[in-house]
Each structure stands twice: as C-alpha cells, then as structure tokens.
Structure 1
Amino acid sequence: MALSMLSAYAQDPAMALRAMHQQLAPQLASNPFQRPLHLQSQQTEERLQGDIYAVLDQPFSLVGAALQDGNNWCDILILHLNVKRCLASSDQPEQVLNIHIGRKIEQPLAEAALFQFDYRAVSATADYLKVQLNADEGPLGTSLYNIDLQVVALDAERSFLHLSYSYTYGLAANLAMRGYLTSLGRDKRGFSVTGHNENDKPIYIDGMRGVIERNTMRYYLAVEAYLSALGTPPAGQLEQRLAHWQSAVEHYPQLRELEPEEYLSMKREEIRRQESAQSRLYNTPKTRSLNCQAAACQ
C-alpha cells in the first residue's frame, strides 16, 4: 500500500474503516455466522485480543447517537452473562463505568470483581464514532483491559462496526485459566476453525483464544441487542434487549450456558439491583442539588 494512502487512513479513520469493510467483503459475504460478521483473535505471551467486524442494518444517525452516550453503555454491558452490575458516574467528560464481573449464576456483588472502566468518546463526527473503555487493573494480575468500538456510515441505511476486546495477563491469570480450561472449561470452544476432523467437521479453536472469542462475541451481541430495541417504545425496550440477546446466543452452541428462562430471570434481578443503585447514586444530596439548579425541587 502506498505511503500516501497510509497517511490518508491515519488522518481519516472513517476512510480507514470503510477500506476495512471493502477488504473484508469476502469474509462478510460468506462465513459460519450466516450474517455479515467477521471475528478474529490473537494471543501473545502477555495479551489476548478479539476483534469483530460487522455490518449493521441501521443508519449511523441512530447507531452513533446511541453508542456515543456513556450512560447507555451500562444498559449494553449488563446484558453480558458475566456482568453483574454497571454504574456510570455522573461526572463529564471523565466518565467512569464501575462494572462488577462475576460468574454465570446469580451471586452477591461482594463475590464479583470490580472493574473501573474510563469511558471516552475519542471521535464523534457526522459519519464516524470511536469510543474507548479502559480499565487499568483486573483480578489475578490481569491489566490494561480495553473495549474499543468504531462505527462508520456505509450509506443511508447501513453502518459498519469494529469492536475490539483485549487485556494483558500474567502468570497467576495464566495458571488460573489453564486450571479452568482443563476442568470446567475443557469442552468449550471459540469460533475460529483450526482444521477438520475425519468426518470433515470443523475443529474450533480452544484454550485462551477460545475464551477471548466467546467474550468478544458476547459483547458484540450486547451492542446489537441494545441497538435492535431502540425502535421499541421505551417501556418495552428492556425486555426486547434481553430477548434479542438470548435469542442470538441460541444460534451459537459455543455461547450457550444457561437455559433461556434462567438467563432472563437472572438478568431481570441484576437489572433491578442496578437500577436501584443508580437511583440512589443520582439522588444523593450533592447530585440532587446539581440536577435541581434549573427547577424547584422539593
């Protein structure tokens, strides 16, 4: 690729993302997902990363506005099986998402790990959005968690999205993950095909790359479920998001963990807990005073 073109892409990330859409055209047109979606992963000695590229049948005017608001991200992230609660700080522009991540069952928050993700809208234009969620620390010596999302307008009705999820791990996390993958997680797989067996059936990636692929896909489906419900009247959006996420998961054996009613029951309770905590947060005396400056609050 010519240096002039590389320079143009560096200066115009929207152009670069559209070029990626063209480059991935064969993979988007034909893949095991049976939809315009491409997933890839990579692992080094210290870092795992999963990337999803997908065409959304929704205009950028809707997608960009929804994903630019940091407060909406808690409604997105809580759909993930392992996210137990997400609370967004009210301070702008340095917004923090306090996220509890735990097991795939109902559990007290004290048993879940707390992550503090800094939320930032890096770029927001009429046809392009880039947001980043970064957490410095995680459990077992994991660190530098990144959820990066880019979306660009393709035409009046479609958008193209790139979601990247990555983190750094050390010896303790590596040993813990190996223990999990040789016991409870020994039969779990990702989505990348590494070969075929004697019956010509695909062999899917396992190990830590399988883990990052499953979680990247779960985060993508959470974004998709949130966007899909925006056309529903507000009172019905929550149930629409939950139903969409659960229905999407059922298409992929790699992601099935709970029976549908188990997931729905768990998430309804976790969301009630989240909404109650958010209500208390925004009704503290300090916050209430700020919210009432333009009105007479009793």
Structure 2
Amino acid sequence: MNTSLAALLVRFGVWFVFGVAALGPLAAEAKLEAGSAQAMRDLERKHAEQFANGALHRPVVIDSAETDGGLQGDIYAIVDHPVDDVRRALERSAQWCDMMVLHINNRRCRATRSPDGEKLTLSVVPRYDKPIEQAFELTFVHRVVHSTRDYLQVELYAEEGPMGTSQYRVMLEAIPLGERQAFLHFAYAYDHNMVARLATMAYLATFGSSKVGFTVVGKTADGQPDYIRGLRGLMERNAMRYFLTLDAYLDGFAAPPPERADKRLHTWFRSVEQYPTQLHEIDLATYLAVKREDRQRDAASR
C-alpha cells in the first residue's frame, strides 16, 4: 500500500472527536445514555474517580474502539467554563469554524447557510507545511438538538469524507456543574472502506509505528507506561487535539475581543505540549507563523 496514501488517510480521515447514536453506530454509552441532563449527571458520577485520579493532569477521560465499519470515540471532561460559554461557542457554525482552525492541520473554515441548515466546510492539509491548495474539504451540516439552561446537545454530520472515509457523525453534550464549570461529553464516529483501513494500518505499522495514544495497556521493560498504538491510538490523539481546541476557544472569552484570537492560539499550543509523547509536532514560532499566514490570506479574500 502506498505510504503517502496511508499518511493522507491518517491526516484526513480521523480529524474529529464526536458522534451521535441517532446518526449511526457508536460506543455503548453514546447510544444508551446520550440525550438528557439526567443521563449526563449519571455519566459525570460514573467517571468521578477517573477525573480525580487520572494520568492526564486534568479531569478528562478518553475512550476509543474499533467497529466493523470504522472507528469511534468518546471524551468526557470537566472544564472550568460555565455552560453558557459552551453554548455561546457551539450554537453557531461560525464559532465552530473559529474553534477548529486552531488545529495545526486545519487551514481554513467557512460557515454558510443552506436549506438543510447551517453548514461549515473545513479545509485540512496532509501536513501543516503543505499549501492550502493541497487541502481536502469536508463539509458538515450543523444542528442544535437541545439548548436549555441545564442541557445542550449539538450535532454535526458529513456524509462523505476523503479517500474511502464516510458517515462522519459528531455530537457534543454539556450540562452545568455549578456556575463556573461544565461537564462535557464528546462522541465521534466515522466509517472507512477496506482500502482506507488497510492503508491506515500500513502507515501505522511503518512510518507511524512510534505514535501512541493515551490509554495505558501495560508497562514497558523499564517500567514506564505502555500506551495504546494503532487505530485506537490514532483516534485518541485526534480526540485530545480537538478537545483542546474547544477548551482553548472557551478560554479566549476571558480576554478582550481584540486579544482573543492570539490568546486561543497560545492556549491551544501550550495545552498540546503538555502531552509531547502523543501530540508534539512543531515549535510555537512555526505554529504561530502558519496561523498568521492563514489569517492574512482569509482577510485578503474577503
């Protein structure tokens, strides 16, 4: 299998963090428990011990699984932001765009309206140093399912993805935890055909063999944590990157409007670098230069 094809599939095929049972097969918790404030309160209690004693230096739990048709994942997290800020960040597709371009490989995002509802089109490059002309576009329909004082649920869906991937299903749930915190559940799933699966596995067995996820599956010979690899490791890395985009975007609300964009960039990069084994790719100066170029290009095109 061509390794360049495999690398592109890895970059393009598993970029998001969520999913919803109403749109297709997902993890058991997402299917059975998504959909109400009470179910979310039950999930928060279920993961309380992991939040308190986890190894991620923050109250975050990552779950991942392979399915017959693709991959799926869930992230559960407590964030130091009120649920009103979460709603403010995610109820409109334009805000999703602002959030997702924090990721190093997401070079552009456009929000539009259509008869089907709000849409956002994300341009993703195979590597951060590739030009925007090499980006693949992925278009999501955005829908707010529930928005009340005590429960928020938002969905995204893309029927087609790049190079053998399809049926991207995305969901965020949130409930308040007091006035200053929120409990979040991100669920995500997508399908891939056999060619895409084999290409991704070939990449992960060769050029991507050193890449790991966050789940600890044992200990190495020198007593260090042995992290999950392969397709689930890939899912977990992408899940964490996108959870950190949301957290950084929420963090920006504390800054004056003219300073928010830069604050979010610095926060996202600093958060990613807390997990160098899994997520390190470039230095801060390079990251900021890429995002500055994107900002100038988009401003010139308006």
TM-score (structure 1 length as normaliser): 0.86
Matches within 5 A, 1:27-38: 27-38=50-61
Write the distance in 1 (CA, Å) between the matches of 2:211 and 2:284. 19
When residues 30 and 276 of structure 1 are mapped into structure 2, their CA distance, relative to the original with a 3 A threshold, is: farther
Residue equivalent to 1:262: 286
Q: Which runs of 5+ in 2 are unaligned?
A: 1-31
Residues 142-183 of structure 1, C-alpha deviations (whole Å, 9 max, x = no match)? 001122111111211211011122211111211221232133
TM-score between the two structures when normalised by the length of structure 2? 0.85
Alignment of 1:167-182 (within 5 A): 167-182=190-205
**Equivalent of 1:189, from 203, 212, 217?**
212
Secondary structure in 2 matching 1:34: coil
* Cα offset, 1:249, TM superposition: 0.7
Equivalent runs, 1:120-139 vs 2, <5 Å: 120-139=143-162
**Cα-to-partner distance string for 1:79-104 (whole Å, 9 max, x where unaligned):** 11221211000448701111111223
- In structure 1, list runs of 5 or more residues that go unmatched: 1-8, 280-298
Confirm or deny: 8 A CA contact 1:78 1:271 kept in the other structure. Answer: no
Name the structure, 1 or 2, with higher relative contact order (CA <8 Å, separation 6+): 2
- In the alignment, what sits opposite 1:143? 166
Q: CA deviation at 1:37?
A: 0.9
Q: Is the 8 A contact 1:18 1:154 kept in 2?
A: no
- SS of residue paired to 1:39: strand
1:113 corresponds in structure 2 to 136
1:208 aligned to which of 228, 231, 253: 231
Partners of 2:34 and 2:40 within 8 A in 1: no
Quote the Cα distance in structure 2 between the aligned partners of 1:188 and 1:10: 32
Q: Which of structure 1's runs of 4+ aligned residues deviate more than 3 A?
A: 9-12, 90-93, 274-277
Match of 2:62?
39
Alpha-carbon deviations, 1:157-211, whole Å to 9, x = none?
A: 2110111222111112112212321332111000011111232211101111111
Gap change, CA 1:135 and 1:93, over 3 Å in 2: closer
RMSD: 1.9
Tell me: CA distance 1:274–1:145, structure 2 relative to 1, closer, same or farther (3 Å): farther
Instruction: Determine whether 1:240 maps to 2:288.
Output: no
Corresponding residue for residue 271 of structure 1: 295
| Structure-2 change in CA distance of 1:77 and 1:275 (3 Å) | farther
Supply the distance in 2 between the matched residues of 1:54 and 1:114 (Cα, whole angstroms). 29
The worse-fitting range, judged by mean Cα deviation, of 88-97 and 202-211 is: 88-97
State the one-letter code of the partner of 1:185. Answer: G
Paired with 1:93 and 1:143, the residues of 2 have a C-alpha distance of: 19
- 1:178 aligned counterpart, secondary structure: helix
Cα distance 1:264–1:230, how it changes in 2: closer, same or farther (>3 A)? same
| 1:19 to 2:42 alignment | yes
1:94 maps to 117
What displacement does 1:107 show? 2.5
In structure 1, what is the equivalent of residue 183 of structure 2? 160
Q: Distance in 1 between matches of 2:42 and 2:34?
A: 13
- Contact 2:35–2:153 (CA<8 Å) still a contact in 1? no
- Rounded to whole Å, the distance in 1 between the matches of 2:286 and 2:34 is 47
Q: Does 1:199 align with 2:222?
A: yes
Preserved contact between residue 129 and residue 152 of structure 1 (Cα < 8 Å): yes
Query: Which amino acid in 1 is paired with 2:236?
Result: E
